[in-house]
């Protein structure tokens, strides 16, 4: 968009600079040495105070701690369930750790088998849908 379409001029009034004198090279009272031909500084970055770190508010810290505690309890529950489930492989040695999904599926199968034994049924174990 150019200055004509805005309805006002973008240049400063005659005799005025766009920036204060401190932004124009050497200032109003100091002259540059004759061998220096640097153009005047036209843009200076804004001075912004930024802290080294942004501490989280207390409520965010409490919320995060509650979530960590919840996840810790869920993981402890899965670990306990893995201890209760019978070994499935023929090797009595250590088996690889089951994932959460594998643990839940193994628990469902184990519950179905226990249900079948309680009911005195023989044959194939029940599927979870038949419970």
Q: What percent of the chain has pLDDT over 70?
A: 48
Specify the higher pLDDT residue, 49 or 78. Answer: 78
Instruction: Tell me: do 23 and 80 sit in the same domain.
Output: no
pLDDT at 77: 97
Q: Please count the CA atoms within 13 angstroms of the CA of 114 that sit on its side-chain side.
A: 9
- Condensed to tens digits (0 to 9), the pLDDT of residues 63-120 reads 999 999 999 999 999 999 999 999 876 666 677 889 999 999 999 999 999 999 999 8
- Quote the strand ranges of the chain, DSSP E: none
Instruction: Tell me: do 80 and 107 sit in the same domain.
Output: yes
Does residue 35 sit within a domain?
A: yes
Does residue 5 sit within a domain?
A: no
Does residue 81 sit within a domain?
A: yes
Position 6 pLDDT exceeds 80 = no
Residue pair 86/70 in contact (Cβ under 8 Å)? The answer is no
Instruction: Tell me: do 68 and 106 sit in the same domain.
Output: yes
Instruction: Tell me: do 125 and 74 sit in the same domain.
Output: yes
Instruction: Tell me: do 39 and 103 sit in the same domain.
Output: no
Instruction: Tell me: do 79 and 19 sit in the same domain.
Output: no
Please provide the size of the chain in residues: 131
**pLDDT averaged over the chain?**
75
Give the chain's domain count. Answer: 2
Does residue 91 sit within a domain?
A: no
Stretch 16-38: mean pLDDT? 54
User: What residues make up the domain containing 27?
Assistant: 15-44
CA-CA distance, 21 to 28, in Å (whole number)? 6
Instruction: Tell me: do 65 and 108 sit in the same domain.
Output: yes
């Amino acid at each position: 968009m150019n200055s004509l379409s805005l309805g006002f001029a973008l240049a400063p009034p005659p005799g005025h600079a766009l920036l204060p004198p401190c932004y124009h090279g050497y200032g109003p009272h100091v002259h540059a040495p004759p061998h220096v031909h640097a153009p005047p500084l036209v843009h200076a970055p804004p001075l912004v105070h930024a802290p080294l770190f942004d501490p989280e508010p207390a409520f965010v810290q409490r919320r995060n701690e509650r979530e960590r505690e919840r996840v810790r309890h869920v993981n402890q529950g899965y670990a306990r369930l893995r201890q209760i489930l019978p070994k499935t492989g023929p090797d009595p040695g250590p088996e690889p750790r089951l994932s959460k999904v594998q643990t839940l599926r193994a628990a469902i199968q184990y519950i179905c088998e226990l249900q079948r034994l309680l009911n005195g049924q023989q044959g194939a174990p029940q599927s979870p849908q038949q419970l």
